[in-house]
Every structure is written in structure tokens, then in C-alpha cells.
Homo-oligomer: A and B are copies of this chain.
Amino acid sequence: MARIVGGVGTSHVPAIGAASDNDKTGDDYWAPLFAGYGPAREWIRRVDPDVAIIVYNDHATAFSLQLIPTFGLGMGSEYPPADEGYGPRRVPMVHGDEKLSWHLAESLVVNDEIDITFVNDLHVDHGLTVPLTIMCDRPEEWPFRVIPLAVNVIQYPQPTGHRCLELGRAIRRAVESYPEDLRVVVFGTGGMSHQLQGERAGLINREFDLAFLDRLVADPDGQAAVPHVDYLRQAGSEGLELIMWLVMRGALGGDVREVYRHYHVPASNTAAGLIVLEPVGDKG
């Protein structure tokens, strides 16, 4: 039986990927951030997952205003890194797990009435590949298969925090009903506080971010009830990406153990956060 052995919440700032790709992780600007990634990288090596379900948002790359899925689930066998303006990142091909994707789709739609959009041909942007870099550094091949789950966080109306948490819980049920013996990790990505636009660009809210991390661990239902306008106001317009961490949290079940936390300002225009969680009662 498959099971969820851990969860990762992490920012997915493009500049973090660029710093890694361009050998700048030792620079004064980047060294403190990357130093904090060490323990998380050790953790995931130890946990050694077979598959990561990466909850992320596409940034006008695979999707545009022409078509915006609330929840887009990757069904493919390969997800090439996308060209976002500079040509594709030179990182390994992202390999999928079609069988598990179909199982997830079936369980989510039939058992939990989540209205998934099935996406086969999907180029994945920094929202998905930067978290891989953060957790895995620069391997020849990514050490696990990946199922992308793209969430609309850009276009109002975004799914509610409650819905994101429920999606996570449905993912947990789906994984636990999969007959193969797989170790699955779920990533929630994006955030933390940042605003890239407008006269208020550059907003950082450390207090909000740290409170979010605390409540994510201890009171996910409470955090899921926070209305979107509070994120926009307190965490910046792009800080709303944090709702994707609720999907990850839901997938971990009731109580969790906080394995590791890292918080650093700035990564480019963003407060970079990282949290590693394990479900209580499960061994990694």
C-alpha cells in the first residue's frame, strides 16, 4: 500500500533556481538561504520517496488566460522544463507516474468529487522545478518521480483555503488506497509573503509568515478559514500562493511533526520559507 511519508512547504522563487543554475549559491547574497536548505535535503535523502506530488502554480507558462483550471493534474510520463523567457532551465527531465496519476484522478473525481482537469502535455515552470532544486540540489536525474498538481492562484476566484485543505485530505485517501507499495511526499509550493507589483511592491510580512507556519502545523482548519483578502492584504498579492501549502498539509492527515523550518528574507523580492513535516504515527 502506498503512503504519504512527508510533506514539504517551500517558496519557489525563480531567482533561487537561477542562483543554483549559475553557481551563485556561495555568494554573500545567496549563501545564508542555501545553507538553510541543507537539513531539508538530508531529510529527503533519508526519506527517499518514490514519488512526489508537487502542488504548484503555473506562471503564465503552460496555461494562459485562454484556459485556467482550478486544479490541473498531470497525467503524463514526462514533463519537460518550460521556456519562461530565457529558454528552458537546464535541469533534468521531470518523469511522471502515469499509473498513480490515473489512480489519483479516479479517486479524486469519483470518491471525493474534486473536479480535476486532466493535463497530459505539460511543460513545468519554476513553480515546480525550483522546489526540486531546493530539495535535491543539482542531480543528474531527479531522484523520484513527480506528479504535478497545478492550482489556480493567479486568477480570482481562486479555490478557497478550505477547498485546498480538503483536496489534500482527498489526496491522502487516494494514496492510501493505491495497491503498490510506494513512498509518497507532497510538496506545497509558492509564497511566502511577497508582492511583485504595484506601488506596494516589495511587501514582506515576517509576522504573518511565521504565524502561518505555526498554524499550518497546529491548526490547519483555522488557517484554511482565513479569507483570501487577508492573504492579499497581509502577505502581498503574490503571497496568496500560500494556499497551496494547505493542500500539502491536508495530505498529511491529523497531527504532524515539524521536522525542520527555515525562513530567510530576501530571495529576490520574496520571503523564502521552508518547512518539512511528517505525519505522526508514520515512520519516514
**With an 8 A cutoff between CB atoms, is A116 at the interface?**
yes
Contacts of A71 in B (CB 8 A): 115
Contacts of A65 in B (CB 8 A): 120
Knowing A113-B162, A162-B113, A163-B113, the reply to whether A119 touches B157 (Cβ < 8 A) is no
Mark A151-162 against chain B: 1 for CB-CB distance below 8 A, else 0.
010011111101
Knowing A115-B116, A118-B155, the reply to whether A109 touches B70 (Cβ < 8 A) is yes
Residue of B nearest to A119 (CB): B67
A120/B67 in contact, CB under 8 A:
yes
Mark A110-132 against chain B: 1 for CB-CB distance below 8 A, else 0.
10011111111100000000000
Residue of B nearest to A68 (CB): B118
CB proximity of A63 to chain B, nearest CB, Å: 9
Chain A interface residue number, banded: 20 to 34
B66/A117 in contact, CB under 8 A:
no
**With an 8 A cutoff between CB atoms, is A84 at the interface?**
no
CB proximity of A121 to chain B, nearest CB, Å: 5
Query: Once the chains are docked, how many angstroms separate the CA of A194 from the CA of B102?
Result: 27
Contacts of A110 in B (CB 8 A): 157, 160
Give the residue of B69, B157, B158, B163 whose beta carbon is less than 8 angstroms from that of A69: B69
Knowing A71-B115, A114-B115, A115-B163, the reply to whether A158 touches B109 (Cβ < 8 A) is yes
**With an 8 A cutoff between CB atoms, is A106 at the interface?**
yes
Knowing A115-B71, A115-B114, A115-B115, the reply to whether A66 touches B120 (Cβ < 8 A) is yes
Give the residue of B66, B67, B115 whose beta carbon is less than 8 angstroms from that of A159: B115
Give the residue of B66, B72, B120 whose beta carbon is less than 8 angstroms from that of A119: B66
Contacts of A158 in B (CB 8 A): 109
Query: Once the chains are docked, how many angstroms separate the CA of A113 from the CA of B113?
Result: 10
Contacts of A157 in B (CB 8 A): 105-106, 109-110
Contacts of A72 in B (CB 8 A): 67
Contacts of A160 in B (CB 8 A): 109-110, 113
The residue in A69, A72, A159 that gathers the most chain B C-beta atoms within 10 A of its C-beta is: A69
A68/B117 in contact, CB under 8 A:
yes
Query: Once the chains are docked, how many angstroms separate the CA of A162 from the CA of B65?
Result: 30
